[in-house]
Amino acid sequence: MATGLKDKVAILSMGCSRFGERWDMGQEDLMREAFYEALQRAGIGAEDIGAAWYSAHYDDIGAGKSGVPMAMALSLPGIGVTRVENFCAGGTEAFRGAVMAVASGAVDIALAMGAEKLKDTGFAGLPPASRGTLAPMYMPTHTNPGNFAQLARAYEAVHGLSRGDLKHAMAHTSMKSHANAAKNEKAHLRRPITIEQALQAPIVADPLGLFDCCPVSDGAACALLTTPEIARSLLNIDPVLVKAAQLVTSNGWEAQQSEWNGAYVHTTRLAARAAYAEAGINDPRRQISMTELHDCFSITELVTLEDLGLADSGTAWRAMLDGRFDGDGVQPCQIDGGLKCFGHPVGASGLRMLYEAWLQLTGQAGTRQLRLPSLALTHNLGGAPAQNVSSVTIVGL
């Protein structure tokens, strides 16, 4: 009988590169920046690592296929490096692999790294991902803004929102993340914006405007995981423990059948339910101190708040406008700026969220430190609302 992952694995240390347009760095350099920070914070060396998981979505740009680029970049000590790819949820997938390796007793210390070098394409936004030979014969030429714009239009239609209310709630979502990122020296976008700026921005994919979309960034983030016992012996503080790590993958129900109304993310609801059960959480609105959500687009954040049970269905837009999720709100969301402003190096984002959770839970978040957080939830989504990989991870003291 499976007993789950709760409290079996500790975060020994984490590292994160500065995100942004890192014209001077390749994917290997970004990984090294994050890795050395994590080693230094942990006080261990690369030779102490027993196995590694590596998330990188694109292989035609960046560093190529397999675990080899990471093993070479970090001079890992002749250990196995598993490359994982699960759309934008790959970072959490790498974390999950490393967590399971430690929980199983296979290794004492495992590394999870996510990295992406996106600014070598020559254009803004993500490059189209390969989809095999059949799908391009029938699937539209689509973009991620276009995929999530459909979520916004369905949310608007299902809940009877006016375009004005929708746009204002989305603008507030982005404005809040820009304000938070101003305090984050590693963030890609650090300038505050006004609601009016967001409302007046050019449309990218109707109804999403420029400020509803996260940037495409270069960056890397990593975690060193170990057993609670080893963590306690190496650290002078109570370690942050993994409470839940759940991931759900679409099976075609949303994209091929007509029951899903398009105004929520089905897999997130399933992953949240499983994660709350694994972590023993029954009142997430009270128990979760902070959230780092996959706000690839402002509408994604709003819908995710509902899917996680942090707002009732059809009400997140109003709670957002009321300031509930602001930096100084009841339940801060994206205190580091989120994908929207910290940035979105695809394969790294899941680990970047956990980096912020770890900083906050260990009191290392500097000027943006929250008061006594105890449980943090990260939500990492890959793909499109209708066809995706969604993960919910909970870590805490």
Give catalytic residues, as residue numbers: 88, 344
Binding residue (CB under 8 A) for other proteins from 1, 2, 137, 164: 137
Q: Does 122 bind other proteins (CB under 8 A)?
A: yes
Binding residue (CB under 8 A) for other proteins from 2, 3, 133, 164: 133
In the complex with other proteins, the residue whose CB is nearer, 387 or 391, is: 387
Q: What mask, x for binding other proteins by CB under 8 A, covers residues 177 to 216? A: --------------------------xxxx----------
Q: What mask, x for binding other proteins by CB under 8 A, covers residues 297 to 336? A: ----------------------------------------
Give me the least distance between CB of 144 and other proteins, in Å please: 9
Q: Does 128 bind other proteins (CB under 8 A)?
A: yes
Binding residue (CB under 8 A) for other proteins from 157, 237, 330, 372: 157
**Applying CB under 8 A, which part among 170-178, 257-265, 274-282, 369-377 lies near other proteins?**
257-265
Nearest Cα neighbor of 351 from 219, 222, 216 is: 222
Binding residue (CB under 8 A) for other proteins from 15, 20, 67, 145: 145
Q: Does 153 bind other proteins (CB under 8 A)?
A: yes
Q: Does 252 bind other proteins (CB under 8 A)?
A: yes
Give me the least distance between CB of 374 and other proteins, in Å please: 38
**Applying CB under 8 A, which part among 162-170, 256-264, 267-275, 350-358 lies near other proteins?**
256-264
Q: Does 125 bind other proteins (CB under 8 A)?
A: yes
In the complex with other proteins, the residue whose CB is nearer, 127 or 329, is: 127
Binding residue (CB under 8 A) for other proteins from 142, 163, 285, 286: 142
HEC string of the chain? CCCCCCCCCEEEEEEECCCECCCCCCHHHHHHHHHHHHHHHHCCCHHHCCEEEEECCCCCCCCCCCCHHHHHHCCCCCCCEEEECECECHHHHHHHHHHHHHHCCCCCEEEEEEEECCCCCCCCCCCCCCCCCCHHHHCCCCCHHHHHHHHHHHHHHHHCCCHHHHHHHHHHHHHHHHHHHCCCCCCCCCCCCCHHHHHHCCEEECCEEHHHECCCCEEEEEEEEECHHHHHHHCCCCCEEEEEEEEEECCCHHHHCCCCCCCCCHHHHHHHHHHHHHHCCCCHHHHCCEEECCCCEHHHHHHHHHHCCCCCCCCHHHHHHCCCCCCCCCCCECCCCHHHHCCCCHHHHHHHHHHHHHHHHCCCCHHHCCCCCCEEEEEEEEEECCEEEEEEEEEEC
- Contact footprint for other proteins (CB under 8 A): 121-123, 125, 128, 133-134, 136-143, 145-147, 149-151, 153-154, 157, 203-206, 252, 255-258, 261-262, 386
